[in-house]
Structure 1
Amino acid sequence: MIGVVVPAHNEQDVIVQCIRCISRAAGHNLLDAEPVELVVVTDSCTDGTAVLAAQAGATVLTLHARNVGAARAAGAEHLLARGARWLAFTDADTLVSPGWLAEQLALEADAVCGTVDVQDWSPHGVHADLLRSHFAQTYFDCDAHRHVHGANLGVSAAAYRRAGGFRHLSCSEDVELVSALEACGARIAWSCRPRVITSARRVARAPGGFADALLTAVAQRLAAGTPHLPSLGTAS
């Protein structure tokens, strides 16, 4: 069985579309009808995320940790207990492609670090064009990249266990897991083949994640008065 984990904190506006995309990916013909189980881990939600996720067909786990590392770990442990051989992770504000899971597995690695695409920069208002240009110039959407995104990550159950799983970190939990995978000799595919589209929202759900990286890039540009923005690096 393949398991998919989506951590969520007050994501009622986007969770249904996220689940629909994962469901399409789960039905890809190259998966040979292997079962796919989706767990949405609602963490400290005060909106309708849990209800909507359940109505859309996901298994819902509820936490009150306000910690994305704990949320990803809880989802992973649930799926491992259910017999998952492969764990795939994405975010509630992310839309995975129909071939997302199939491409992860086709790489035949212990873990897959994928890239992200952003199609709508409008949440950044007058800075939208600046960020769009910066992203295009500094982000490496290609094989052999070195980005780490919780929005596009996959790992075998065996490698996940060897690495010790996700640490309960409020940010960079994905980077820490990949570092642990490297330390234990896991074969990691740094690939752009598994495709996802993520949001460029201004309000971060996980401090220090991708949304904060975008805001930091704008702030540094304006403070320095220079057209050169810092690379988005391994922001998750």
Structure 2
Amino acid sequence: MRPRSLAVLVPAHNEEDLLPGALDAIRAAARHPALRRVRVLTVVAADDCSDGTVAAAAQAGADVVRVTCRNVGLARAAAADRALELLDGPEGVWLASTDADSTVPPHWLAFQHARAVEGWDAVVGTVSVAEWPQHVPGLAARHQSHYVASRPAHGPWHHPHVHGANLGVCADAYLAVGGFPALPVSEDHGLVAALGARGHRILRTADCPVTTSGRLAPRAHGGFGDHLAGLALEESPAS
């Protein structure tokens, strides 16, 4: 497909501090020269927010949908629903997903657009950590050892990871498998598994990583932040 529109989906729960940086990076990616004739829409799903998340999203020019589910799967799905409503349906639409504590590189949307043109139904990318907690020595090395364990010495790395912070999918394929499942965690894994089960073409690539937070107290329990917190506990000497 050649997408005529790109919709960026961002779930957020009380992210007034980090969301502006995430949206700044998305706006920069939307200005890529390869996307001059492509519409880019950003939808923030503000999930049970009690801080300035909604105001920060609106100030950045994002469309905002408010939900009170405290469920990242439902929040991402709500953002997708709003995007498809605003874009008059799925035809020619590519859905790109990231997180409120993450910053995409300037070529992120152009990269996903190019892969869609090549015929991929979904792009599953990797993440890197922006800043490691200084009070946990060795955490970065331990994470890196786990994260790249399957990477071959030569050739492309068809990595095993799935991150909602770096994910893209053709809207038609997304709807065909029922969208993001209503899960409080691993909704991204659920979507990718459903796409694979239906035979959709999935590109797993480390060529366009997204930078994400290294915080050890994540908003959604059971995800990447909890993975880092678990590694931090392993690093700590026994008392």
TM-score, length basis structure 1: 0.89
Q: Structure 1 residues 159, 217: CA separation in 2 closer, same or farther (over 3 Å shift)? A: same
From 7, 25, 28, the counterpart of 1:21: 25
Amino acid at match of 2:170: S
The answer on 1:154 being equivalent to 2:150 is no
Residue 6 of structure 2 corresponds to residue 39 of structure 1: no
In the alignment, the residues of structure 2 paired with residue 43 and residue 100 of structure 1 have an alpha-carbon distance, to the nearest angstrom, of: 25
Aligned residue identity for 2:16? Q
Contact 2:181 2:190 in 1 (8 A): yes
1:232 aligns with: none
Structure 1 223/187 Cα, relative in aligned 2: closer, same or farther at 3 Å? farther
* Pairing 1:119–2:149 present: no
**How many equivalent residue pairs?**
222
Which amino acid letter does the alignment assign opposite residue 150 of structure 1? G
Alpha-carbon distance in structure 2 between the residues aligned to 1:220 and 1:193: 30
Letter in 1 for 2:208: P
Tell me the secondary structure at the aligned position of residue 126 of structure 1.
coil
Q: Deviations over 1:124-156 (max 9, x none)?
A: x4314x111112222137631110000000000
Aligned-residue RMSD, C-alpha: 1.7
Mapped contact 1:101–1:194 kept (Cα < 8 A): no
Any stretches of 5+ residues in structure 1 without a counterpart? 226-236
Instruction: State the TM-score, normalized to the length of structure 2.
Output: 0.88
Q: Give 1:172's match in structure 2, choosing from 175, 186, 193.
A: 186
Q: Is the 8 A contact 1:8 1:40 kept in 2?
A: yes
Q: CA deviation at 1:203?
A: 1.3
| 1:36-75 aligned within 5 A | 36-75=40-79
SS at match of 2:221: coil
| Residues 87-136 of structure 1: CA deviation (Å, up to 9, x unaligned) | 000000000001001111222310000000113102xx4314x1111122
Between 1:108-117 and 1:28-37, the stretch displaced more is 28-37
Structure 1: how far apart are the matches of 2:113 and 2:168? 9
Indicate conservation of the 8 Å contact 2:6/2:41, yes or no: yes
Distance of 1:25 and 1:207 partners within structure 2:
29
Note if contact 2:217-2:229 (Cα within 8 Å) is conserved in structure 1: no
8 Å Cα contact 1:27-1:33 kept in structure 2: no
Output one character per residue of 1:189-224: Cα deviation in whole Å (capped at 9) or x when no partner: 001122310010021111101110111122244488
Q: Is the 8 A contact 2:136 2:236 kept in 1?
A: no
2:9 paired with 1:5:
yes
- Conserved 8 A contact 1:69-1:166: yes
Structure 2 unmatched runs, 5+ = none
**1:96 equivalent among 91, 104, 107:** 104
Is 2:20–2:57's contact at 8 Å kept on the other side of the alignment?
yes
Cα distance in 2 for partners of 1:45, 1:116 equals 25
